[in-house]
Amino acid sequence: MGDHPARTVSWPTLAGWQPRVGWQSGVVSRTPQGQRASLDKQPHEVAAMFDGVAARYDLTNTVLSFGQDRFWRRATRAALELRPGDRVLDVGAGTGVSTEELAHSGAYAVGADLSLGMLYAGKRTRPHVPLLAGDALRLPFADASFDAVTISFALRNVNDTDAALRELARVTRPGGRLVVCEFSTPVNPAFRTVYLSYLMRSLPAVARAVASNPDAYVYLAESIRAWPDQAALADRISSAGWRRVAWRNLTGGVVALHRAIRDESAI
Ligand SMILES: C[S@@+](CC[C@H](N)C(=O)[O-])C[C@H]1O[C@@H](n2cnc3c(N)ncnc32)[C@H](O)[C@@H]1O
């Protein structure tokens, strides 16, 4: 992963993307521990929790999202605008389900994750996907190693969001791309009410039927509620060495894609 000429990628169209505006902070509080992490997201708790869900992670995801997860992953790949031969890092790759989707572009996609259980599950089901152990806060790669970096449904689980965004910038070449795919805030107030009710009541109940560690899905619901909305996350990305930050809502804002370009002068 050595030197290579910087290429500037332009995202000429803003159609469907909103430029960054405003600031609003998320609320993070401590909750009791069980077979789940608390909202202060200690790395050993987070890793143990994902070890516990690994066996049925892919299936549970698809059930709980009504199959939308596949659409969200395809949209993430499209937003990265990968080309054959590009090097892309998928941080918090888990079982490699998100990494595998990226490889469909012809790019060389490698995944890194904190949970050995998730990585082992991925090695069993996707032996062709390169996966390795790595912490989003201390990635095992040299500066500017990648043309693009992405993190799907994992940034919310890292206990220092801003440090993780800076670390993602460190391993991205100047002018390289970032796409964050994460749960967010539905824009329609009526839909938001229905969604929050699903999140806090129905989702844990469904998880009890399908998941290998249902308590983890209580954490999922709580961590989504405590996560910054679209504009707030955009501001944090901008403060961490990224420029031209914009976001796009998927499924009415249940998920948002944030994209940005690595600032040449950052870090
Ligand atoms: C919800 S899963 C997402 C997996 C996959 N990216 C996907 O889209 O399905 C979140 C993953 O983030 C990982 N994770 C949490 N904190 C991390 C950290 N500090 N560094 C690396 N991975 C982390 C967890 O171990 C877990 O596998």
Summarize pLDDT for 85-139 with one digit per residue, the tens: 999 999 999 999 999 999 999 999 999 999 999 999 999 999 999 999 999 999 9
Domain assignment present for residue 3? The answer is no
Query: Averaged over 199-225, what is the pLDDT?
Result: 82
pLDDT-derived band at 216 (thresholds 50, 70, 90) equals: confident
Q: Which of 21-30, 60-69, 137-146, 148-157 has the weakest average pLDDT?
A: 21-30
What total number of domains does the chain contain?
Answer: 1
- Closest ligand 1 atom to 118 CA: 27
Domain assignment present for residue 246? The answer is yes
Q: Which residue has the tokens 């505006």?
A: 21
Task: Report whether pLDDT(151) > 50.
Answer: yes
Domain assignment present for residue 161? The answer is yes
Which of the pair, 206 or 230, is modelled with greater confidence?
A: 230
CA 6 from centre of chain: 25
Query: Averaged over 204-215, what is the pLDDT?
Result: 77
Question: What angle do the packed helices 116-125 and 43-53 form, to 10 degrees?
Answer: 30
Domain limits at 54? 28-262
Query: d(Cα 119, Cα 138) in Å, to the nearest integer?
Result: 17
Q: Which of 49-53, 216-220, 230-234 has the highest mean pLDDT?
A: 230-234
Domain assignment present for residue 23? The answer is no
| Closest of 145, 169, 168, 149 to residue 263, by C-alpha | 169
Q: How far is the CA of 115 from the centre of ligand 1 (A)?
A: 7
Which of the pair, 40 or 124, is modelled with greater confidence?
A: 124
Query: d(Cα 245, Cα 261) in Å, to the nearest integer?
Result: 7
Domain assignment present for residue 22? The answer is no
Domain assignment present for residue 212? The answer is yes
Query: Averaged over 44-61, what is the pLDDT?
Result: 89
Q: Is the CB of 47 inside a 6 Å radius of any atom of ligand 1?
A: yes
CATH of the domain at 63: 3.40.50.150
Q: Is the CB of 154 inside a 6 Å radius of any atom of ligand 1?
A: yes
- Closest ligand 1 atom to 73 CA: 8
Domain assignment present for residue 136? The answer is yes
- Closest ligand 1 atom to 94 CA: 27
Query: d(Cα 55, Cα 100) in Å, to the nearest integer?
Result: 18
Q: How far is the CA of 127 from the centre of ligand 1 (A)?
A: 18
Q: Is the CB of 152 inside a 6 Å radius of any atom of ligand 1?
A: yes
- Closest ligand 1 atom to 93 CA: 6
Nearest CA to ligand 1 atom 26: 94
Q: Is the CB of 92 inside a 6 Å radius of any atom of ligand 1?
A: yes
Contact 136, 168 (CB under 8 A): yes
Q: How far is the CA of 155 from the centre of ligand 1 (A)?
A: 7
Domain assignment present for residue 150? The answer is yes
Q: How far is the CA of 12 from the centre of ligand 1 (A)?
A: 31
